[in-house]
Amino acid sequence: MITTLLKFIPNQSISMVKELLAVDNLTVKVKNERKTRHGDYRQLPDGKHQITINSNLNPYRFLITLIHEIAHFEAYTKHGRSIKPHGKEWKQIFQHLMLPFLRPDVFPNELLPLLAKHFKNPKASSDTDVDLALALKQFNPPNDKTYVFEVPLGTDFKLYNGKIFKKGQKRRKRYECVEVISGKLYLFNPNAEVKVLD
């Protein structure tokens, strides 16, 4: 398990991650990309605990996702089922676990101020922190996707699920986009990855 993980995370984080994963009843599996999540945590029917993480994440997002899910495991172990999945107990544990990793030998300098800001009050997904999400995406391998904020007004684009939308005006933080088939209005985060249609 640990050996497989090592190729997905920054080198300088390896010893700290090994320490966090030195738990008997926790396994971590690397999965093919899932469009709706970067990773997840759950307790298995046999009482053991499992974390899964997408294999297509860049090393920095992989590490953040791994620590996010380890925080779920620790929150569950300490507080049981009665807490909210991303409530104050989880946030405190996530902050505590992440702090030792917020160093220039683990993360690039341009990410550190954004990470420090994000971890003052971490959200259920780092994707909702637009500045951090865009900064992290710079480290992804090149692909043919575009961000919604880059799509010209009135242009059609396609999502991973095949649905086609027309880009509209920006509201305060998100873009109004109309689904072409249904005519329904949806709001998109600026950093949503889409494929522009010619």
pLDDT digit string (tens) for 158-174? 998 899 999 999 998 88
Q: Mean pLDDT for the chain?
A: 90
- Sorted by where each begins, the domain ranges of the chain are 2-137, 146-196
pLDDT confidence of 129, banded at 50, 70, 90? confident
**Residue 2: its pLDDT value, please?**
64
Full strand arrangement of the beta sheet holding 146-147: 146-147, 193-196, 156-158, 164-170, 175-179, 185-188
pLDDT of residue 36 exceeding 60: yes
pLDDT of residue 3 exceeding 80: no
Mean pLDDT across 164-189? 94
pLDDT confidence of 1, banded at 50, 70, 90? low
Q: Tell me which DSSP letter residue 142 carries.
A: P
Q: At what angle do helices 88-98 and 59-79 cross, to 10 degrees?
A: 130
Q: Are 47 and 25 in contact (CB under 8 A)?
A: yes
**Residue 5: its pLDDT value, please?**
79
Burial class (CB in 10 A: 0-12, 13-18, 19+), 32: exposed
**Residue 15: its pLDDT value, please?**
92
**Residue 53: its pLDDT value, please?**
94
pLDDT confidence of 39, banded at 50, 70, 90? very high
- More reliable by pLDDT, 30 or 160: 30
Architecture of the CATH domain 146-196 = Roll (2.30)
